[in-house]
Copies of this chain bind each other. A is one copy, B any other.
C-alpha cells in the first residue's frame, strides 16, 4: 500500500472510531485494530493520537471555510439572498456528505482542551462576523432594518449550528436541505408575527 493510501486509511479508521466512541474513549489500539495495521506503523505516520485528531479537525474547518463566501454586491454577482442560500446549501451539504467528520466538530471537539476550544471559538466568531457583514450590507441597501447585528448574528450562528448538528445525526429526521433553507430564510426575514394582528405587548 502506498504511503499516502496508508495515511488516509489510518485517518479514516480514526475518524470512524472517534465518531463511534469519542476522542477519549478511543485508544491507539482501537485505531490500529480498525485500520488493520501494527502499532509501530501508526507512529510512522502520526506522532500521537492528538495529531491525528487535529488533522481531521483542521481538515473539516478548512472545508467549511472554503465553502463560505462573503456576501457582496457586484455586477457579476447573484442577489445577496441567493448568495446566502448558496452558502447555507454548501455547508449543509458538506456536513451531510461526511456526517462522521461533522459529528467530531459538534460532539467531540468542544471541551477537548483549551487549544481546540480556541480554534472552535475563533471559527464560530468568524462565521458570526460573516453573518454580521451580510446584515450590515443589507442595512446599507435598505433591505434589512436596524438592530443589534452583533447579537443577532450570534443568534443566527447558533441556530444554523443546531440545524447542522441535527442533520448530521445518525437518525436524521430533518426535512430536505432545500426545504430547510427556504424555511430558515423566510423565518429570518419575516419573523413569526402574523401580519394580521399587532401582538407587541410590553410589560410593566
Write the residues of chain A forming the contact surface with B, with a CB cutoff of 8 angstroms: 22-25, 78-79, 81-82, 85, 106-113, 117, 135, 138-139, 142-145, 147-148, 151-152, 154-163, 165-166, 174-175, 179-180, 183-184, 186-197, 199-201, 203
From known contacts A110-B111, A144-B193, A196-B142, infer whether A166 and B187 are also in contact, taking CB-CB under 8 Å: no
Q: Which residues of B contact A199 (CB under 8 A)?
A: 81, 143, 189
The contact of A113 among B22, B111, B139, B155, by CB within 8 Å, is B22
The contact of A107 among B107, B110, B156, B174, by CB within 8 Å, is B110
What separation, in Å, do the CA atoms of A38 and B175 have in the docked complex? Answer: 54
Q: Which residues of B contact A192 (CB under 8 A)?
A: 135, 138, 144-145, 147, 152, 188-189, 191
Q: Which residues of B contact A162 (CB under 8 A)?
A: 154-155, 157-159, 161
Whether the pair B201, A148 counts as a contact (CB closer than 8 A) is no
